[in-house]
Amino acid sequence: MPWILRMLLTIVPLIALVHLVSYFALRRALRRLLTADATPPRLLKFLYGWWIALPAVLLLLQVTGLKEIQRALFYGHPLGDWLLVYPFWFGLIFSAEFLPLFLAFEGGWFAIRRFTGNRTNLDRMKAVSLLSMALGLMVYIAVTIYTDTRQETVARKTVSLPSWPAALDGFRIVHISDVQGDNRTGPARIRQYVERINALKPDLVLFTGDLITRGREHVPVAAGALGQIHARYAKIACMGDHDFWTDPALVRDELEKNGFRFLQDTTVILSLKGTPLQITALTEIYRKRTEVEVLQRLATDGVKPGIKILMMHQPTQKLVEAAPGLQFDIIAAGHTHGGQVVFWNWLWPLTPGRWENGYWRGFHWLSGTLLSINHGLGLTFAPVRYQAPANIHVIEVQSVQTAQDEQ
């Protein structure tokens, strides 16, 4: 049984539970405003049935042996996406986000009822308020999914270094990750991403793995699109999980053919107008874990640089927390997609990425070392992004003296 189907079937009971809560809440609100046999509650049953249909269809295709249709639903087909896949994820996000709002809503109305005499009008007002909240949430989710999936943001940080020459102030590092080229993240989407990167005029580009999601046919396409990135000094890449699972040699060869220097468990030193830049790249993926001792050995290679950078795909906590003590100035990682689908339950972001790594999105300062975890561009498991937009990280390097003068 494919792992995507196993994962879906594992979480189906939880999905069914959150759907039941939102369904009965909305049905009760509708029936307060309409007759019991009115059309809207019937339409509500159809809507929730549509939202939960995907796992049942995938299981049926597994049992009947229609594997080609099943793969099309897993990995992207326009008709299947719009008929089953997108509705499933929209419904899941809605019910998951609705649940804490509904509980807070019920608590608020319980308090109001204790100080109000006219219960009939209050019940109708409550039903209208709940339905309005649900409709507003649906609109918000639809707009957020669209913008977060189809557009990218730019996040910026500045690193000030005592060993950095003022002549190189403004040196611009662009960090990208998880392009995930596939049927859903095709050449046009990657080209849009590349145009945005080039507009930033990078001096150095760091790509922390996962060129594609699956399928060797996507490797040259995605690598060719990234080959259009222009960097003044260098473009550096390391291995990602999906690169390794698909064809690591092909990924390396295609990226190198398109101007990237592909590093695996090694340290290189570049010269920036006489200032050394040391880059250590680890192959930190599910199939190959790196011990801190290996990082310590690689970190001591070469001379004391003007800047010291660590690249790896997964932001494994023990490596991240060892890096500041090894005098790394910047750590670049990806893998988490920034959560990709992030539920803001009780104003606390909930996403599987938080359970796997202590660091899962954005920028963090660790004892003077900047950790950059890029959201990436593409998609895995879920075919959408929600409250975790695709992004590009820009890190500008300047001397400590320049930073002091600016203050």
159 shares a domain with 116:
no
Mean per-residue pLDDT, 99-117: 81
131 shares a domain with 43:
yes
SS3 content of the chain, % helix, strand, coil (to 5): 50, 20, 30
209 shares a domain with 174:
yes
Give 165-214 pLDDT, tens digit per residue: 988 999 999 999 999 999 999 999 999 999 999 999 999 999 999 999 99
The pLDDT of residue 402: 66
Main-chain phi, psi angles of 137, to 5 degrees: -65, -40
The pLDDT of residue 405: 59
| Average per-residue pLDDT for the chain | 91
Give 57-103 pLDDT, tens digit per residue: 999 999 998 989 999 898 999 999 999 999 999 999 999 999 999 99
Residue 220 has pLDDT above 90, yes or no: yes
The pLDDT of residue 403: 58
Q: Which residue's entry shows tokens 């990082």?
A: 295
Give 123-144 pLDDT, tens digit per residue: 888 899 999 999 999 999 999 9
Boundary (domain end) residue, out of 101, 128, 148: 148
267 shares a domain with 398:
yes
**Model pTM score:** 0.93
169 shares a domain with 79:
no
Mean per-residue pLDDT, 257-279: 94
**Alpha helix (H) ranges present in 76-207?**
78-80, 86-113, 119-150, 187-199
Boundary (domain end) residue, out of 148, 172, 192: 148
Residue 352 has pLDDT above 90, yes or no: no
The pLDDT of residue 143: 97
Structure token pair of residue 340: 């990709």
Q: Given the DSSP bridges, would you call strands 275-281 and 266-272 parallel, antiparallel or unpaired?
A: antiparallel
The pLDDT of residue 325: 93
Domain limits for position 265: 154-406
Cβ(164)–Cβ(307) below 8 Å? yes
135 shares a domain with 166:
no
Q: Given the DSSP bridges, would you call strands 266-272 and 343-345 parallel, antiparallel or unpaired?
A: unpaired
Confidence label for 406 from pLDDT (cuts 50, 70 and 90): low
Boundary (domain end) residue, out of 131, 148, 165: 148
Whole-number percent of the chain with pLDDT over 90? 73
Residue 107 vs residue 384, higher pLDDT: 384
Structure token pair of residue 92: 């899941």
Q: Which residue's entry shows tokens 């680890």?
A: 282
Give 22-55 pLDDT, tens digit per residue: 999 999 999 888 865 666 778 899 999 999 999 9
The pLDDT of residue 348: 81
The pLDDT of residue 346: 64
102 shares a domain with 209:
no
Mean per-residue pLDDT, 139-154: 96
Give 246-260 pLDDT, tens digit per residue: 999 999 999 999 999
Mean per-residue pLDDT, 221-229: 98
The pLDDT of residue 222: 98
Number of domains, the chain: 2
300 shares a domain with 217:
yes
Question: The CATH number of the domain where 295 resides is what?
Answer: 3.60.21.10
236 shares a domain with 134:
no
User: Is residue 292 left, alpha or beta, with left meaning phi > 0 and alpha meaning psi from -120 to 50?
Assistant: alpha
74 shares a domain with 24:
yes
102 shares a domain with 79:
yes
328 shares a domain with 196:
yes
